[in-house]
Structure 1
Amino acid sequence: MNYESIFGTTASAINGGATPLNLVQTSQPAQPMATVLCCNCGVPIDGTAGLSMCYDCIKLSVDITEGIQRESTLNFCRNCERWLRPPNAWVTASLESRELLALCLKRLKGLGKVRLIDASFIWTEPHSRRIKVKLTVQGEAFGSAIVQQSFEVEYVVIAMQCPDCAKSFTANTWRATVQIRQKVPHKRTFFYLEQLILKHNAHRDTISIQETKDGLDFFYSQKNHAIKMIEFLSTVTPIRTKKSSELISMDTHTSVRSYKFTFSCEIVPICKDDLVCLPRKIAKASGNISQITLCNRVGNSVHLIDPITLDQMDLQSTTYWRQPFSTLSNSMNLTEFIVLDVEFTGFEKGKLALADVTVARSSDMGRNDISYYIRSHLGGILHPGDTVLGYFLSNVNFNHELWDTLDQSTVPEVVLVKKSYPRKKKNKGRNWRLRRMAKEYNTMEDMGSSMSTKQRQIEQDRVERDYEIFLQELEEDPELRSTINLYKSGNKTNRDVNMADAGTGIDADLQMGEAMETDPHGGESIDDDSEDEGSNAGSLPEVGLDELLDEIDELTLEDGYLEE
């Protein structure tokens, strides 16, 4: 078969009758490339590029990074943990963050002559006060050759004070203050509030913090910062706020006035585990709940519960301040009881369960056989032999106007509050710690000048006791622990916050909760090994490792990076 005639005919038809081209074309020989030898190493290179050296020799003989700084400085404020961005702006940036990398690049001179390809941090010792950055740049050499090179830049961190922090050490520089008060005989509310402020970083704009007898004072350089703090407090605690202003100066020509603003925030004086007697009008308006209730939880409202019927209500701050009343008793007056028998009623509501419990006072054990048959909301966690804390209302008389209006026949003899657990000894410590705010104690020092040494020691012991009770509440209540941050202790030696050396309330330190040698409710410390010998059937709840945060994630720059 003549394939050539067939292909020719087909090609002629496609080309519209034109003469077809030959199917097999003869390839033309490639033109030889003009090469020259490198003047340095003798390697053949393309001569059409107009270069006399190869790429490797150009990289060795040409430095495109010439004129770029290899050393620079960064200014850092220890108090507010901000970095200086010239000319006078102070920005917040964590270590090895994109914000800090951008600040480092802006401090380099001569970087605009080349093209930046990559930039990254190089690890340095935490206490070296050095930050190293590796840069990769591209630039032209000999007119047409593009060269890429990498080099390191070292920054020296210089500690200084920003203008805002410098003002905080000067008297009469604040423009707004938030005064938080709660008239209760303990400070556990402020310990919990402190943890909430640290978790949400609500003290960022604070220039100073002072402690007073019944609360804390937060000072701010701007009114907007104080209003922001009040909005945060209203979301976590039931408060009422009053505002006042003081005229400092006035320009008679422009009528421009300068004021100092004071915001007074008073927290509802009802705390967790307090015994509350409600006014009859409020009790009827809340579903006809019993007037004798327990405070189960405090958030932006006060959560009350009837321990006999499990009825619950939320007491709003506006409702309370419309008709204020005081509590019957607080957790400092709890009495220890021994559970003799538990009979479940079968009624449950959430985590609470009603049960008929037979209890006897611990002080009566071995002396008499007096027992009390009561109904309690702790039926789900109580067992015979447990130790429980409660209010002993039999033959008691409160100096309270609402107590006198009650029908005494309906008042229970005992109101159980919470289960008691054996406590660890001081030398065993805890596997977790809390972060603490550093405060200025100028006000306390002024007050302490009129106090004797014995009175100061009593006041210090009271604060330590309140803090230990707060730590115990965290151990016993997982729901309460979930609202704050707990950190791993790392088996380190306990260290207290040096309040006198702290300049502002912005600095923070990590402090481990240290157990007291004696039980804050009056009993002696019980070792873990003596659980089987004692009457307690349950053991102290332990904080799981999954609830703890790593210490390195929350260390401040002063503690973990700039500390000498």
Structure 2
Amino acid sequence: MEHIPTYTEQRILCASCGTTIAPNPANLCVNCIRNEVDITEGIPKQGTLHFCKGCERYLQPPNIWVNCALESRELLALCLKKLKGLSKVRLIDAGFVWTEPHSRRIKVKLTIQKEVFASTILQQVFVVEFIVSGQQCEECTRVAAQLTWKAAVQVRQKVPHKRTFLWLEQLILKHNAHKDTTNIKEARDGIDFYYANRSHAIRMVEFLQAITPLRLKTSEQLISTDIHAGTANYKFTYSVELVPICKDDLVCLPMKVARSLSNISPLALCTRVGNSLQLLDFNSLRVGELRGAVFWESPFTSLCDAKELVEFYVIDIQPEGVHNGKYMLATAEVALSNDLNTTWLVRTHLGHILRPGDHVMGYNLVNANFNNTEYDIFSQAAQSRGGLPDVVLVRKAYPNARRKRRTRNWKLQQLAKEEEEGVVKAKSEKAKAELDYEMFLRDLEEDPELRSMVNLYKDAAQSNKVVPIIESENQDDDEMMDEDDEPEEDFPEINMDELLEEMEGMNIQDDEMA
């Protein structure tokens, strides 16, 4: 009789709970292993899917929209790509859990495996819930935009400040040139105006051409066409680029342009920006008017802008008796306000307003190094005529009055603009915008001609709005100035008869930075 041996499976006790189990390298039962190790850790249990209701597509990051039917392989692949941490485990199975279509929820059931101990593999099943969030794709956004605007005017200027646009904004408000806009958006380098009719956009372009030199580019995009009626629907965009020259900028003109402007010196100051650039030769008081068309034939950039102005102290000044009605030529001895050891003798056009003891803002060119071809040509030619000026004086300063805490009895009004989408301004950018606005307000105070071009309104809450003191302009000369110094007698103040009563019902908002 043949003997057939029987095999008895060996059993051990779980090291944690004492349950009888088959031997395994961990000596733990499945429940105890799951209690000690969670292989789903690091895998999100919730996610978000962006869905466009217009074209019924899902967003596949970063910016691809794909068509996916419900419970399709494409949608499942899109959901799995959203889950970080799946690469650290082995995916065994994946499938959808049924949900109501209108619930805006998609559930995916996953089965994964992972080796937790030596030769011990743990398998676990869990569910991930995705929330379907509505988001309009770029194509649908453009289609929707066709119903709100048909023409756009994009105004840009390549300068590191916003003072030109602040002035332009006030002119638009004064002449009500924005009355036909459907929307106004603030861009990084300018402003965008949107219109329902092309004729309104053309009217805005003509208004801008009348007040400032610019270069215009026009583009059109076909939206739809009717071959039976022979008609087409277009969307028009007018790109307006302003000249990159602002008031008080120091420029170096090309020699050909300087000769055409009554043969003025190539090194000149921009004293006014209107429908043309007014350039002043501060050595001879000759003035040249540069039209926008001439500028764009031979474009140039500024050597120094208003943010590079430094403060000088006037030690002595000797008028030369030459004047052109607005300016008077004089020779001034100046020194830096924070360093009186070094002095310079300079010719200036401010002889009619400067007196010994005054302060004046100017450009210090002693150690300046410009990466400008026209300036290099001019400096070589100027060596034979006595060299370049060390200092260029621009405008009178009022440090004593600026140091005093005071309030403004006037304010400006502002266009209702939307900020640029997807851009969050940092604190430094906000501080820079506030500084640009304060400098623009000071320009209005000190320049009656510029002030006459805008509307100023009475401020009923003037006691709550204190004029800020810019630390950078006073921190160098605190030692030589006493807090008890009296404000300058000719400090520009705006009279009440220049202010208007605030008008109601306009599409503008009060500016809180004033």
TM-score (norm 1): 0.60
Partner in structure 1 of residue 346 of structure 2? 374
Partner in structure 2 of residue 420 of structure 1? 397
Indicate yes or no: 2:412 matched with 1:460. Answer: no
Indicate yes or no: 2:302 matched with 1:327. Answer: yes
CA distance, structure 1, for counterparts of residue 322 and residue 402 of structure 2: 35
CA distance, structure 2, for counterparts of residue 206 and residue 557 of structure 1: 10
Residue pairs, 1:74-93, within 5 angstroms: none
Query: Partner letter of residue 391 of structure 2?
Result: V
Contact residue 414 and residue 509 of structure 2 kept, 8 A: no
**What is the CA deviation profile of residues 102-143 of structure 1, one whole-angstrom value per residue up to 9, with x for unaligned ones?**
xxxxxxxxxxxxxxxxxxxxxxxxxxxxxxxxxxxxxxxxxx
Q: Greater Rg, structure 1 or structure 2? A: 1
Indicate yes or no: 2:447 matched with 1:477. Answer: yes
Indicate yes or no: 2:189 matched with 1:214. Answer: yes
Deviation at 1:324, TM superposition (A): 0.8
Partner in structure 1 of residue 230 of structure 2? 255
Secondary structure, aligned partner of 2:210: helix
Indicate yes or no: 2:499 matched with 1:548. Answer: yes
Query: Partner letter of residue 223 of structure 1?
Result: R
CA distance, structure 2, for counterparts of residue 543 and residue 488 of structure 1: 11
Distance 1:521 1:174, change over 3 A: farther
Deviation at 1:182, TM superposition (A): 0.3
Indicate yes or no: 2:331 matched with 1:353. Answer: no
Distance 1:374 1:208, change over 3 A: same
1:342 to 303, 307, 317: 317
Query: Partner letter of residue 235 of structure 1?
Result: A
Indicate yes or no: 2:438 matched with 1:487. Answer: no
Indicate yes or no: 2:254 matched with 1:284. Answer: no
Distance 1:427 1:414, change over 3 A: closer
Contact residue 273 and residue 296 of structure 1 kept, 8 A: yes
Contact residue 150 and residue 234 of structure 2 kept, 8 A: yes
CA distance, structure 2, for counterparts of residue 310 and residue 332 of structure 1: 24
Distance 1:373 1:300, change over 3 A: same
Residue pairs, 1:122-133, within 5 angstroms: none
Distance 1:245 1:476, change over 3 A: same
Deviation at 1:475, TM superposition (A): 0.4
How many residue pairs get matched? 361
Structure 1: which 5+ residue stretches go unaligned? 1-166, 449-454, 495-511
Residue pairs, 1:12-411, within 5 angstroms: 171-172=145-146, 173-365=148-340, 369-406=341-378, 407-408=382-383, 409-411=386-388
Moved more, 324-333 or 424-433: 424-433
CA distance, structure 2, for counterparts of residue 184 and residue 237 of structure 1: 15
CA distance, structure 2, for counterparts of residue 182 and residue 298 of structure 1: 13
Contact residue 361 and residue 397 of structure 2 kept, 8 A: yes
Deviation at 1:395, TM superposition (A): 3.1
Secondary structure, aligned partner of 2:307: helix
**What is the CA deviation profile of residues 158-190 of structure 1, one whole-angstrom value per residue up to 9, with x for unaligned ones?**
xxxxxxxxx9xx644210000000000000000
Query: Partner letter of residue 410 of structure 2?
Result: W
CA distance, structure 2, for counterparts of residue 435 and residue 425 of structure 1: 26
TM-score (norm 2): 0.66
CA distance, structure 2, for counterparts of residue 554 and residue 548 of structure 1: 15
Indicate yes or no: 2:485 matched with 1:533. Answer: yes
CA distance, structure 1, for counterparts of residue 474 and residue 256 of structure 2: 37
Q: Percent identity?
A: 48
Indicate yes or no: 2:410 matched with 1:440. Answer: no
CA distance, structure 1, for counterparts of residue 405 and residue 278 of structure 2: 37
Query: Partner letter of residue 470 of structure 2?
Result: T
Contact residue 328 and residue 349 of structure 2 kept, 8 A: yes
Distance 1:405 1:246, change over 3 A: same
Secondary structure, aligned partner of 2:443: helix
Deviation at 1:558, TM superposition (A): 9.7
Distance 1:343 1:543, change over 3 A: same
Deviation at 1:559, TM superposition (A): 8.6
Secondary structure, aligned partner of 1:359: strand
CA distance, structure 2, for counterparts of residue 537 and residue 384 of structure 1: 13
Secondary structure, aligned partner of 2:268: strand
Contact residue 249 and residue 259 of structure 1 kept, 8 A: yes
CA distance, structure 1, for counterparts of residue 339 and residue 477 of structure 2: 20
Deviation at 1:205, TM superposition (A): 0.0
Query: Partner letter of residue 160 of structure 2?
Result: P
Structure 2: which 5+ residue stretches go unaligned? 1-140
CA distance, structure 1, for counterparts of residue 327 and residue 347 of structure 2: 13
Deviation at 1:537, TM superposition (A): 4.8
> Which one has more relative contact order, counting CA pairs under 8 Å at least 6 apart?
1
Alignment RMSD (CA, Å): 2.7
Secondary structure, aligned partner of 1:339: strand
Query: Partner letter of residue 426 of structure 2?
Result: R
2:470 to 518, 536, 556: 518
Contact residue 332 and residue 345 of structure 2 kept, 8 A: yes
Deviation at 1:525, TM superposition (A): 11
Contact residue 180 and residue 264 of structure 1 kept, 8 A: yes
Contact residue 342 and residue 382 of structure 1 kept, 8 A: yes
Deviation at 1:522, TM superposition (A): 5.9
Secondary structure, aligned partner of 1:257: strand
